[in-house]
Structure 1
């Protein structure tokens, strides 16, 4: 890569494509800005250069076409860093325009960005200074994918593992060469393979502002760790790269994707298009505000200096404006076509269903555009089907192909396992694939992403150890994070050395994960839950880039019994197609079988008492999908007293015990070769226990 020397000759250039595009003659630069009256392109040698080596003023007559400003810089080498300055009217209140020719803007289409010169809090306190903004990097594209393509695993076979790229390997115990990076994930692929997951769901990896935190949080030395503060949607986050100053973002990310694909593991990105790092009217101008504030954000129709906030983060992206919708879809298609990702999970996706005045749309153009894109046709698209302003669309999210984080599943299973009586009908619906939410509008069990825990809330260990959040370390007087956790501490709040309490907590954790992997739909496991990672009761570690938020790899040995349980549980699900049905259960026998595909039972051979307000117990028989698959008998007792269940009669076969969470390791879960037949016609299920038997 040659060093720029400049000054370079310029030509008019072209308006398409947006961003910086390397060609035979040089680099074409183009950005959208509808109401700008002037533009300058600033070229830097590297991320830390104190001054640009060339400033190119664009002529409104020859470098401006429709809504785009463009210029070709002849012979400019890849590796050059650049920013934009846009001039134009400044009328935040009347028209929403926020042009400021002093502010350098990072290209929203930049394929790689560096933040060495960026100091959000210095900008907030001292105002705009020359050359203090993030910079984009000119990239050539000569990557060898070695015939890699995105994976196309059927939805019913998916097992999703949600992880934070930094926190997964940043702890010293991870023992990787490049902690907290895309390369660190590559080093841990053997672990992911051994676990048995099919997809990693990476928390935000598009370039975000780690400094986007309240002032009192910043003063405590805390940062925006989770990354729900994007500013550059086409660029991998520089903090997850080993050498971002060299513009290696794209190569390092692609290396990770290619390695995961070789291991048969797909990559889903958690994407944040509902808001940006620019915040409200008091937030900094980084890019979108300076190029087209009135286009990119939902503004109050009377006073356009006010940002409508349906995200809880200061602003809401105007996602259904034609230009913005095209920007988002183009971005998603880029990550699939050029970065080979396999899917996306959309943070606060219901905010993307709102119009320019913030009202929900019945058929949002953006969401349908994503669903119907040819490039995205085989891509998994997952919605967090709610926003921060009360729009809750679980079961009703616009479109048909969209999968949804099933918040109803999470809440119902948490209540049931902690011992709340009277909701066995609700639990049965969730375990069977939530047909009440999805079947009537022509959707499938695979539209439901089932989960017990996720990054947002208690970890599994904390869910069975705390009834109150402990978020004081976040610097917001314990006011942040959800207080409605539906958790049970098993008798003691917080950490305990009592062996009975510890045993009950571990059993409860096994119950929760056992039901997750025995349910129809797509299971999602939070990274670290398989080894009972704790956050000390903090249910909102969004700003804790430290051991509170990281995975301690010593837990693999310390809680090896739990890790074994989860691995065997995943393997059990994988060898049972009856747990991976694409279509809803009918209650009718399949051809050649005397058993219906599902039948429900209560204790002692009685039918379930669906309306019993005191019921804690439920059982069901799940028929195999073909002659080679065993039928399953699944028995759940979350009450305080044991319950005996009659077992379904089998013709010429016997039940074999596969799982009993009341038993000690290693008898809590048994491989097929380890199982012995159960000679009795009933099974006593202990209090707070889950039992599974296989019929063969």
Structure 2
């Protein structure tokens, strides 16, 4: 940054105790007549609207000089005011702070920071770069934002992201409160805010497509489907340019702000708009009985590796915010994205908890899914910590009590903690459920025993923790990998569109194309694919635990075999609403399953409806084609599960046949009533799943389960 004698003023500048004078070459008055309040306060961090102005506070341990820049327009290359913070007056400990009178919500701002540059010591100050406040509640992105200018030499002010002063309390929530949906009734629908409504056939006006407001208009669809929670791919502001040349970062796993909603998902053009539109979305979803879970990325940032841009953290306090290699010049890369956030540093721990608390208290979200959460268990040297402070900080934070906490319990460097993630309140994405259920339905050798364990809450994995079965988040597909349609349509990934010669994306897909690679007009193959999709969905929604389904799987959304569509902001990734008409049978199947899964009351007359709660408390038994003789051998491809709930006088008999031929299963004898068929995925809609009162009786002592099918029978006892 430019260094000026304190006796000279160029532009509006605040020096000493924060006194602002105009650019008329007057000497700066630093006398005691200046009001003490202009020095500002160290707490709270960020830009806080208070009576008469705004208090700004920033942490930087090793900064030598800090300037606060105020802008009239997001595209301005010259600030309206430059406020230099005096270390003697505007710094407490390592916190730089100033009160600026007459500043109002909507004000744009950023920082320039100077200090030593010694990469071997992890110091990376660049006074030419405008830096985003890590605690900015809103962000504004210039029309000509250029990521490259943030790592090339020179000033980048005109094209840099700027913070927005937000009045967090100036919003009418109209009595909105957390829903606190019990885990036993929770059905998660993972969706992408933009991709859900961006397609031209979404039925929305152009200004609403791909926005928070657009999602509001699709809430009736979510209600009809029967899901109880949406898990939104990252909505923290991220850098869309953090991707290969010519592509766009679509998924959003490239955060640069942990407090500000991504403005690219807002239909509003004013700087406060994204914050309020996000709140409108949360409020509307809550009114519809749907919780909001955010996919949060506290494992890395968009600043990348040592060759990456200086956008915020790197230029503020590099060695505080990142885990560095021993030489200090390179970043540890446990995220696979170039850098790793130093999550267990006290300052970073505070920022993470402050962020979560903000999204719960001020934005009313109901839960969080932590991307690559195992990174949060690494200490400041990168080694796994037996009791990671940040995880216990999150779990013990009173403001987060009752908030749903979901962990993706692994990272990109091989730290796999499914079943061993630290903490008591955490639920885990069960990657082994995904793999084992996929293996079972493609007929993999030795998959029966594992599939059985996954269906009853994975006691093999979680039994030692003595927790409820809701500890496991069960899913077969998610954003990362094949869609359900592609899982049964492709043997190999087809990622050429990503421009990396098909090298990106996982090769471990455990998929089967049912005989033809990709789309086909063969009716028999299409029938088999549809059946397999129903098998996967039935397994997910009937299993013990919290089920999660991927956006569009209920209508066979395809990504054309791309299993890593992170850079595809186009019809490869968008929800194609025409599929709803093409696959009404599958949509109906999911609706019926969700309806019974999420209902509130247990009723003998109308069926014991919360299947998860019912089966968890039931007496359980395993069978094979013969009663009491399950076949756990490696060559087995089928199993049967019996659950009896004496308090409600109900029984269930679940058959899972992954064999390529039909199999006859003996049925337990009933003294009074007969078994009734609720589900059989081999049957054509509407017989595949029926209204309970219409379920036909089984008149024989056995049931012929078709090849590759799931059957659920029930009876009163």
Give TM class, smaller chain.
Answer: over 0.9
| Structure 2 unaligned residues grouped into runs of 5+ | 1-10, 21-37, 600-607
2:3 is aligned to: none
Q: CA contact under 8 A between 2:344 and 2:379: conserved in structure 1?
A: yes
The residue aligned with 2:171 is 143
1:64 maps to what in 2? Answer: 91
Residue number in structure 1 paired with 2:122: 96
Match of 2:24 in 1: none
Match of 1:168 in 2: 196
Instruction: Give the corresponding residue for 1:598.
Output: 620
Q: Does 1:616 align with 2:637?
A: yes
Kept after mapping to 2: 8 A contact 1:445/1:581 = no
Could you tell me which residue of structure 1 aligns to residue 611 of structure 2? 579
Q: CA deviation at 1:401?
A: 1.1
Match among 194, 204, 221 for residue 191 of structure 1: 221
Conserved? CA contact 1:156–1:582, under 8 Å: no
Q: Could you tell me how far apart the structure 2 residues matched to 1:397 and 1:103 are?
A: 39
Instruction: Give the match for residue 567 of structure 1.
Output: 591
- 1:450-477 deviations in Å (ceiling 9; x for gaps): 0000000000000000010000100111
Distance in 2 (CA, whole Å) between partners of 1:583 and 1:570 is: 16
2:455–2:544 Cα contact (<8 Å) kept: yes
| Maintained 8 Å contact 1:46/1:245 | no
Alignment of 1:5-44 (within 5 A): 10=20, 11-44=38-71
Question: Residue 80 of structure 1 is aligned with which of 98, 101, 107?
Answer: 107
The structure-2 alpha-carbon separation of the partners of 1:661 and 1:582, relative to structure 1 and needing over 3 Å to count, comes to closer
1:54 is the counterpart of 2:94: no
Q: 1:312-339 CA distances to partner (integer Å, 9 max, x unpaired)?
A: 0000001001111111011101100111
SS of equivalent residue, structure 1 residue 40: strand
Q: Deviations over 1:192-212 (max 9, x none)?
A: 000000000000000000000
Which has the larger displacement, 43-52 or 277-286? 43-52
Q: Is the 8 A contact 2:149 2:156 kept in 1?
A: no
1:122 Cα deviation after fit: 4.2
Paired position in structure 2 for 1:304: 328
Residue 555 (structure 2) aligned to one of 525, 531, 547: 531
Inter-CA distance 399–244: structure 2 relative to 1 (3 Å threshold): farther
Q: CA deviation at 1:621?
A: 1.1
**CA positional deviation for 1:129:** 3.0
Alpha-carbon separation, structure 2, partners of 1:677 and 1:135: 66
Query: Do 1:444 and 1:583's aligned partners in 2 also have CA atoms closer than 8 Å?
Result: no
- For residues 391 and 575 of structure 2, the distance between their equivalents in structure 1, rounded to whole angstroms, comes to 34
User: 1:292, 1:312 → 2: CA distance?
Assistant: 22
1:589 alignment counterpart: none
Looking at structure 2, the residues matched to 614 and 87 of structure 1 have their Cα atoms a distance apart, in angstroms, of 67
Matched, 1:155 2:183: yes
* Distance change (3 Å), C-alpha of 1:321 and 1:417: same
Structure 1 CA distance, aligned partners of 2:81 and 2:614?
Answer: 58
Distance (Å, rounded) in 2 between the aligned partners of 1:403 and 1:515: 19
- More divergent stretch after superposition (83-92 vs 269-278): 83-92
Tell me the SS of whatever aligns to 1:633: strand
Q: C-alpha displacement at 1:156, in angstroms? A: 1.4
Segments of 5+ residues of structure 1 without an aligned counterpart are: 586-595
C-alpha contact 2:237 2:256 (8 A) present in aligned 1: yes
Report the alpha carbon displacement of residue 50 of structure 1 after superposing the two structures with TM.
3.5
Match of 2:576 in 1: 552
Which has the larger displacement, 105-114 or 645-654?
645-654
Q: TM-score, normalised by structure 2?
A: 0.92
Q: Distance in 1 between matches of 2:569 and 2:367?
A: 26
Which of residues 621, 629, 632 in structure 2 aligns to 1:607? 629
Give the superposition deviation at 1:674. 2.0
| Partner Cα separation in structure 2 for residue 245 and residue 153 of structure 1 | 34
CA contact (8 A) 1:645 1:683 kept: yes
Alignment pair present for 1:337 and 2:364: no
CA distance in 2, matches of 1:346, 1:105: 26
* Structure 2 residue aligned with 1:281: 306
Are residues 1:498 and 2:522 paired? yes
The CA deviation at 1:438 is 1.2
Paired residues of 2:448 and 2:634 also in contact (CA < 8 A): no
Deviations 1:374-396 (A, max 9, x none): 11111000000000001000000
1:263 corresponds to 2:291: no
Deviation (angstroms), 1:613: 1.7
Post-superposition CA distance 1:277-327 (Å, at most 9, x none): 0001000011111111000100012x1011010010000001001111111
Query: How far is 1:626 from its partner?
Result: 3.1
- CA–CA separation in structure 2 for the residues paired with 1:495 and 1:109: 48
1:670-681 alignment runs, 5 A limit: 670-681=690-701
- Are 2:652 and 1:632 aligned? yes
Deviations 1:563-585 (A, max 9, x none): 01110111232354563139966
Structure 1 residues 405-425: Cα deviation after superposition (integer angstroms, max 9, x where no partner): 001110000000111233211
Cα distance between partner residues in 2 of 1:265 and 1:351: 30
Q: Quick one: distance in 2 between partners of 1:289 and 1:448?
A: 36
What does residue 120 of structure 1 align with? Answer: 147
Q: 1:412 and 1:435 mapped to 2: Cα distance?
A: 14
Residue 588 of structure 1 corresponds to none
Paired residues for 1:195-206 under 5 Å: 195-206=225-236
Q: Distance in 2 between matches of 1:676 and 1:247?
A: 57
CA apart distance, 1:227: 0.2
Is the 2:77–2:157 contact (alpha carbons within 8 Å) kept by the matching residues of 1? no
For residues 341-379 of structure 1, what are the alpha-carbon distances to aligned partners after superposition, in whole Å with 9 as ceiling and x for unaligned?
A: 000000000011101111000100001111111111110
Residue 111 of structure 2 aligns to a residue whose secondary structure is strand
